[in-house]
Structure 1
C-alpha cells in the first residue's frame, strides 16, 4: 500500500446536480474518487455515469433501491446487487468490482453474495456525516481524521455542503502529504488504497 493515499468515496448517486459539481471539483485538482452508485439512479442518469467513467473515477455498486440488504430475503438482496451491476455495465461499459452496502449494513451472508458477483465489499474509516446536515467546515474537520490508507465517506445526493467541502478536503490532504487514490481489491475480499 502506498502510505500517502486515502480514498474519497461518494454514495447514493448519480445525482443530476451534485454529480457534475463533485466531478468538476475533483477534476480541477486532478483527483480521483470512488462513486458507489444506486442502480435506479443509474437508470435515471446514465449520462452522469458515463461522465464519471470518462473522467477516470471508480464506480462501485451501492444496491438498486438503497434498502437495508440484510433485512431482505436472500433472493431480493441478490436482485438488488445484480440489477445494479447490469445498470452500471449498461451505462459505463464495464461492471464494478467494488460494493458498499447501504448504511454499512452487512453480514457474512451479504459479503458472500457480493463475492459471487466478483465484488469486494468496502466500508469506510471516516464518516463525514454530510448526510446529517454537517456544514462544509464540519465535513472537512471530520475528514481530517483520516489516516493513510483510510476511506472517507461522503454522499453524492445534492448536499451543497459536500460540494463546497471537496476542494477544502483536497487542500487539507495535500497539506498533510496525502493524495486521493483508488481502492484496489486484494486477496481474501480485502482492499487497499493505491495510487491511481
Structure 2
C-alpha cells in the first residue's frame, strides 16, 4: 500500500510538472507566433516558422486568423441597375403603372455643352445663361421637371421615391411659403430645388430692377430655407428678355431650361411638330391637384410615365447633365 501511495504521489507530481511544462511551451509558441506574424487586426494563429496552426490546450488545432483573400469585386453599374429594377417593378404594380419605368444609363463623367436653342436667342454680349428645351445627348432619356409648388401631395413623395424616378422642382415662393417643410422633405429625398421666381410674374413686362427682385429674391429665399442657391432658373410661362438673363446671371444662374413637352393627368402637350419625344427632351409638369386638373399628381405620373416608357425612354436627372 505504501508503494502504491508513493507511486500515486509520483504520478501526481509528474502530471503537475507535465502540465506546467506544456503550458509554458504553449505560451512560448503563441508568443513566438504573434511576434513573427504580421499584424492583421488581432494577431495570427500560425507558429513563428509558419509551419501550421498552433495546437490548443484541448489538443485541437486552433483556427488561424481570417486571411485577407482577394477583394470582392465592386458591384457594377449594371448589377446595381438590375437590383433597382426588381424593386421598381414591384413598386410599379403597387402604384398602378402600366409598365415598369426603364432604367436610365449611367450619368456622363463630363456634362454635355448646352447652348441656347436656335430662335430663343437674345443679344448676347455678356456670356448669358443658355436657354434650351433639350439637352444634347444620344441616349434615350428625358428629364422630368415640376413647376410652382401649389399642390403638396405626400403621395407624390412616396410614389416617386418608391419608383426611384428622378425629377427637378422649380419653385415660386408665393405658393410654397405656406409649407416650406414639404419641399425640405423633397430635398432630403434627393430632389434639386430650382428657381421659378418669387411671385410668378410675366418678366418681360417688368423693369430690370423688378426682375432682379423676382429672380434674385427667390435665390435668397431658397438659400434661407434650403441652404443653397440654385444654378437653374425657369422664367414663368417660359417668357424672358435680355434683362431676365442678365439679372439671372448676376445672382448665380448658369442655365435656363424650358421644356419640349408638358404632362397632365389626361394628356400630353407637345412643342415639336412631330408630337414625339426626342433624346434629352425636358418634360414640364406642375404641382397641381384635382382642383386644377382631371386627376391627382399620382394620376399625372401614371400618364406621363406610360408615354415615356411606351416610347422606349427612361427618366434621368437633369442636374447630372446640366
The two structures have a TM-score, normalised by structure 1, of: 0.80
Q: Which residue of 2 aligns with 1:4?
A: 140
> What is the alpha-carbon distance in structure 1 between the residues aligned to residue 160 and residue 245 of structure 2?
30
The 5 Å alignment of 1:13-162 reads: 13-17=149-153, 20-119=154-253, 120-128=255-263, 130=264, 136-139=265-268, 145-158=276-289, 159=293, 160-162=295-297
> What is the alpha-carbon distance in structure 1 between the residues aligned to residue 184 and residue 307 of structure 2?
29
User: Which is further off, 152-161 or 32-41?
Assistant: 152-161
Structure index of larger Rg: 2
> What is the alpha-carbon distance in structure 1 between the residues aligned to residue 314 and residue 178 of structure 2?
32
The alpha carbon displacement at 1:157 in A equals: 2.7
Q: Which residue of 1 aligns with 2:70?
A: none
Give aligned pairs, total: 178
Q: Does 1:181 align with 2:310?
A: no
The alpha carbon displacement at 1:161 in A equals: 4.6
Gap change, CA 1:23 and 1:14, over 3 Å in 2 = farther
> What is the alpha-carbon distance in structure 2 between the residues aligned to residue 124 and residue 142 of structure 1?
9
> What is the alpha-carbon distance in structure 1 between the residues aligned to residue 199 and residue 233 of structure 2?
14
Q: Is the 8 A contact 2:172 2:197 kept in 1?
A: yes
Q: Provide the secondary structure at the position in 2 that maps to 1:98.
A: coil
Q: Which has the higher helix share?
A: 1
The alpha carbon displacement at 1:146 in A equals: 2.2
Q: Which has the higher strand share?
A: 1
Structure 1: runs of 5+ lacking an equivalent: 131-135, 185-192
Q: Is the 8 A contact 1:146 1:152 kept in 2?
A: no
Q: Which residue of 2 aligns with 1:189?
A: none
The alpha carbon displacement at 1:181 in A equals: 1.7
Structure 2: runs of 5+ lacking an equivalent: 1-136
- State the superposition RMSD in angstroms: 2.4
> What is the alpha-carbon distance in structure 2 between the residues aligned to residue 167 and residue 117 of structure 1?
37
Q: Provide the secondary structure at the position in 1 that maps to 2:199.
A: coil
> What is the alpha-carbon distance in structure 1 between the residues aligned to residue 177 and residue 300 of structure 2?
28
> What is the alpha-carbon distance in structure 2 between the residues aligned to residue 79 and residue 33 of structure 1?
27
> What is the alpha-carbon distance in structure 2 between the residues aligned to residue 163 and residue 114 of structure 1?
32
Q: Is the 8 A contact 1:4 1:178 kept in 2?
A: yes
Q: Provide the secondary structure at the position in 2 that maps to 1:124.
A: coil
User: Which is further off, 21-30 or 149-158?
Assistant: 21-30
